[in-house]
Structure 1
């Protein structure tokens, strides 16, 4: 596929920053297209969301493998917490900034005017889309090698844990106390492709523990888990401490 000159320059710049040469330049070109840009041109489906979906899974697997290889003595719960801290939206946005992804993105006018190039949700999604492009272009070994370079400093010294780790913390708590994991239910998905809003509920044994809304489904799940943790600590702290049933 022959790309226009401006796209060729963007792909070349991205490849240089990643130290990776794309054999299929149409893949990184697609990874740079935000849904707002595609929608304005009447090509709503020609955006980076499918690559983001793929890249999300590749990042999770690669980071899990990197942590597993880094410390053979690390227990499962610690591995989960460390991975959650490394793959959360804010940290992926930071990595996107480190490779200068923001200026290369194709954004619609509205997103451009509202500072979309600095929005963590857009940057994190684009980062995952780029990883998805590398995976399709060079296979998992190429993606793993790239992520190994990008995550190496953080595997040894992870970012601080916080709300971003709420899903892992909630699952660990409920598994430990009650031997079961929570479920996440997508309650609604609204808005145009370039401004989607997801509403998610976290449910345990038929009870809604928390709800969250965000521009990305994963972030909505994390917010729901954070609300659930806050509610359990406030209302059921003594019960949790004793290991009693919540209901």
Structure 2
């Protein structure tokens, strides 16, 4: 584990905590003799809260002019499944995971949700091993690139609101959101949301909460050329009707 400890910038006093953080639930499923809670799910639960607090603190000081909405959306972006998995891949976390044979065969070592959960579990393990200050240093180190990216351009604090405004400008019905899937344990589900307008699905997104999933679906819709095509068509129709009358 020394190579991983070097990358994350933390040397564990209790190496068993790191081992536990890297142990996927599939190991226990395939070994019924293994004691209860011998996977990373409980550490993941703790690590989720640890990262939320650490990143809230970092964002509060990094974005002194940002209001609550901007800060909330920035944090949601940083702790999304996709963002956490990207950091996990960056540090090679997948190579250190302990997986069951079935999970290994099905590509679990590079699955976004598995990587994101493991990164949260590592944060929880660091918190238990050395306290909140060590966990905050871990977050500052691993999220440095993502935090710096926030300073390079404007952050859209409300994709759902922006989408709503675009659609209201042409005077039609509002976009419709729906949760179409969820996976994972109750305390750490990953939700999948869609957003549709005029019977057309315009965006789909995944997140650790229903709200986060809907926000990502709205962002996907804003980037979808089909939305702007529909907007143009809807705007043209009244003018065409006037000419015909």
TM-score by length of 2: 0.66
**Aligned partners of 1:213 and 1:220 also within 8 Å:** no
**Aligned positions, number:** 201
In the alignment, what sits opposite 2:14?
24
Q: 1:152 to 1:39 in 2, by over 3 A?
A: same
Q: Deviations over 1:5-36 (max 9, x none)?
A: xxxxx3x3321222211111111110010001
Q: Say which of 85, 89, 97 aligns to 1:97.
A: 89
Q: Deviations over 1:41-73 (max 9, x none)?
A: 113631101100100111111111111111211
Deviating beyond 4 angstroms after TM superposition, the runs of 4 or more aligned structure 1 residues are 165-174, 186-191, 196-201, 224-230
Greater alpha carbon shift after TM alignment, 93-102 vs 219-228: 219-228
Q: Which has the larger radius of gyration?
A: 2
Q: 1:226 to 1:148 in 2, by over 3 A?
A: closer
SS of the residue corresponding to residue 102 of structure 1 reads helix
Q: 1:219 to 1:114 in 2, by over 3 A?
A: farther
Separation (CA, whole Å) in 2 of partners of 1:224 and 1:119: 21
Separation (CA, whole Å) in 2 of partners of 1:19 and 1:167: 31
Query: 1:83 Cα deviation (Å)?
Result: 1.3
Q: Deviations over 1:150-175 (max 9, x none)?
A: 112221214999xxx9996559999x
Q: Say which of 1, 4, 25 aligns to 1:35.
A: 25
Extract unaligned runs of 5+ from structure 1.
1-9, 175-185, 202-211, 238-247
Q: Deviations over 1:104-150 (max 9, x none)?
A: 00111111111111111100000000000000001000000111111
**Aligned partners of 1:77 and 1:172 also within 8 Å:** no
